[in-house]
Amino acid sequence: MPSPEEAPAEVEGDEPRRSGLRNPEAAVRGLGAGTLALEAIVLLLAIQPIRIMGGDLSGWGIGVVVALAVVAALVAGSMRRRWAWPAGTGLQVLLLASGLLHWSLAALGLIFGLTWAYATSVRRKILG
């Protein structure tokens, strides 16, 4: 069995894979979808603790959080589309702006914004 150093760089008819992944596009889509799905779950789970710990999250505020979670889930399911990555970026901006409703939403916006920035940088490195 040839060692990895002796293995051919590319198979005839294929272009070389920079990342070493079989399907780098699918891997990157999975990273983006997983990030957004986790964000949707965390947003829905954050509603009750915010309300219990003295947050003045009204019906409108809860509606905004639920809407952001639904949008995150929809964009996660649409990662094959060209507009999904920019939509995910826009979602992070909206989540950060929802910090006007409660400070903890701004904290979640910052955390998931940094996570999304990391996913975007990984996408850029893998896909070029």
pLDDT in tens, 61-78: 889 999 999 999 999 999
- pTM of structure: 0.80
Radius of gyration, CA atoms only, the chain: 19
pLDDT in tens, 8-24: 444 455 565 566 778 88
Residue 31 structural domain: 24-127
SS3 state at 44 = helix
Q: 8 in a domain, yes or no?
A: no
Q: 5 in a domain, yes or no?
A: no
Task: Report the distance separating Cα 47 and Cα 41, nearest Å.
Answer: 11
Q: 80 in a domain, yes or no?
A: yes
Q: 42 in a domain, yes or no?
A: yes
Q: 6 in a domain, yes or no?
A: no
**Band of the pLDDT at 3, cuts 50, 70, 90?**
low
Q: 17 in a domain, yes or no?
A: no
Q: 19 in a domain, yes or no?
A: no
Q: 98 in a domain, yes or no?
A: yes
Number of separate domains in the chain: 1
